[in-house]
Amino acid sequence: MTVFNTGFPSIRQIQNFIKNKTPVEIGLITNQSEKGIILWQDQNCFCLQNNNKEKILIWTQSLAYVKSK
Amino acid sequence: MTVFNTGFPSIRQIQNFIKNKTPVEIGLITNQSEKGIILWQDQNCFCLQNNNKEKILIWTQSLAYVKSK
Amino acid sequence: MTVFNTGFPSIRQIQNFIKNKTPVEIGLITNQSEKGIILWQDQNCFCLQNNNKEKILIWTQSLAYVKSK
Amino acid sequence: MTVFNTGFPSIRQIQNFIKNKTPVEIGLITNQSEKGIILWQDQNCFCLQNNNKEKILIWTQSLAYVKSK
Amino acid sequence: MTVFNTGFPSIRQIQNFIKNKTPVEIGLITNQSEKGIILWQDQNCFCLQNNNKEKILIWTQSLAYVKSK
Amino acid sequence: MTVFNTGFPSIRQIQNFIKNKTPVEIGLITNQSEKGIILWQDQNCFCLQNNNKEKILIWTQSLAYVKSK
């Protein structure tokens, strides 16, 4: 389970990606990946807006990696 | 484990999909996906009615993403 | 972890499948699926009787979906 | 996480397989399966003796199903 | 989550493998496996020395089985 | 869930890799692997700088192994 503590580097890093609209690539444990910008995060999900302007709720339980581009 | 707190954006977003009968695509960590509308959610499951009017209990532990269409 | 609270819709739905001997298809996160009727559930497992009358303990941690047929 | 409570049907069922040396097939979330008899269980593992008399510690976190043969 | 209680048979069995430098095969939920001897275990990891004398930290969350050879 | 206790051998080992800029290979439960040096770790993630100088947040929930090279 992702620990959602805003003092953690990982959570702050994602908050920076959100604030700066940093393009990211999100890799899932399914081996799928999706590119876009992260709109918000909470305890369960990231909300990603992909390059087709679709909003996708990504469950953090399925995250493998996040790479800034 | 999904945290089922109705104040969270992710849970509220799903509640909106339920209320508005928003067509969604649900992606699983199996790489399978299913389209339909979400009828209800609880701590363990989403109940999805697919386009064949079948009702499917989807365990939240197997969720990768939810995309509104 | 599945939350085993008999007041939850998901647990009640499974209890109804058990009581009514509803034929179900159970999908696992391995992409395997098995058909039959559920005999009982507890915190860890479903006991499924498949169409060959074999009894199979299915760990809820491996559940992706349950579909009534 | 498997809940190891000897009052649960799932745990009792496995205890019966152990006591009766019931031949079982254990399916893993890797899609692998192994046949043999279960020698003991604890919170983390089943100890399976396969048909080559090898003893294998199987982590319960990787269990998909147990089928008696 | 692996329960790290030195009174459990599974933890004691691994401690014996460590003490006796027992050659083992470790299977992961990725379907990969690695052979060697276990140098130590803690709550998160096994440290395996493989046959090329490389030390590998294996996360217990990815364990499927351990087989002594 | 990874237990983030700096007294544990696994956490100390990673801290040493960080301090010494030890080249590592990180294997994921997706069967992907990535090489580089670990810049920091917290409860949720490792931050890996790969050989293209990209920084990648790797969720510890997706870790299978870490091998020093």
- In total, the C-beta contacts within 8 angstroms joining chain E to chain F are 63
Tell me which chain E residues have a C-beta less than 8 angstroms from the C-beta of D18.
Answer: none
Query: Contact B32/C31, CB-based, under 8 Å?
Result: yes
Interface test with F, best of A25, A58, A67 (most F CBs within 10 A): A67
Helix or strand or coil: residue A17?
Answer: helix
How confident is the model over F2-26, as pLDDT tens digits?
A: 677 888 999 999 999 999 999 999 9
Q: Which chains touch D (3 or more CB pairs under 8 A)?
A: C, E
pLDDT of residue D20: 98
Distance from C-alpha of B58 to C-alpha of B64, rounded to nearest angstrom:
11
**Is A51 within a domain?**
yes
The residue count of chain C comes to 69
Of A44, A54, A62, the CB nearest to B8: A44
Tell me which chain A residues have a C-beta less than 8 angstroms from the C-beta of B66.
Answer: 56-57
**Is B23 within a domain?**
yes
Cβ contacts of residue D26 below 8 Å, gap of 6+?
D33, D34, D35, D36, D46, D48, D58, D63, D65, D66
Q: Where are the alpha helices (DSSP H) in chain F?
A: 9-19
**Is D3 within a domain?**
no
**Is A2 within a domain?**
no
One pLDDT digit (tens) per residue for chain E, 69 residues:
567 788 899 999 999 999 999 999 999 999 999 999 999 999 999 999 999 999 999 999 999 999 998
pLDDT of residue F55: 96
**Is B2 within a domain?**
no
Of C9, C31, C63, the CB nearest to B59: C63
Does residue B11 surpass a pLDDT of 90? yes
Query: Contact F2/E61, CB-based, under 8 Å?
Result: yes
Does residue A5 surpass a pLDDT of 90? no
How confident is the model over A14-69, as pLDDT tens digits?
A: 999 999 999 999 999 999 999 999 999 999 999 999 999 999 999 999 999 999 98
Does residue C8 surpass a pLDDT of 80? yes
**Is A4 within a domain?**
no
One pLDDT digit (tens) per residue for chain D, 69 residues:
567 788 899 999 999 999 999 999 999 999 999 999 999 999 999 999 999 999 999 999 999 999 998
Instruction: Place B59 in a pLDDT band, splitting at 50, 70 and 90.
Output: very high
Interface test with A, best of B60, B67, B68, B69 (most A CBs within 10 A): B67
Does residue C47 surpass a pLDDT of 80? yes
Closest residue of chain B to C65, computed from CA coordinates: B58
Closest residue of chain B to C14, computed from CA coordinates: B57
Q: Count of CB atoms within 10 A of residue B69's CB?
A: 8
pLDDT of residue D1: 55
CATH assignment of the domain containing B45: 2.30.30.100
Q: Count of CB atoms within 10 A of residue E11's CB?
A: 19
> ipTM score here?
0.89
How confident is the model over F21-57, as pLDDT tens digits?
A: 999 999 999 999 999 999 999 999 999 999 999 999 9
**Is C3 within a domain?**
no
Domains contained in chain F, number: 1
Distance from C-alpha of D60 to C-alpha of C57, rounded to nearest angstrom:
13
Of C44, C54, C62, the CB nearest to D8: C44
**Is F2 within a domain?**
no
How confident is the model over C16-42, as pLDDT tens digits?
A: 999 999 999 999 999 999 999 999 999
Question: In E, what residues contact D, Cβ < 8 A?
Answer: 1-3, 5, 8-11, 13-14, 27, 29-31, 60-61, 63-68
Range of the domain at F51: 9-68
Per DSSP, what are the bridge partners of residue D66?
C57, D26
Does residue A2 surpass a pLDDT of 70? no
Of F13, F31, F64, the CB nearest to E59: F64
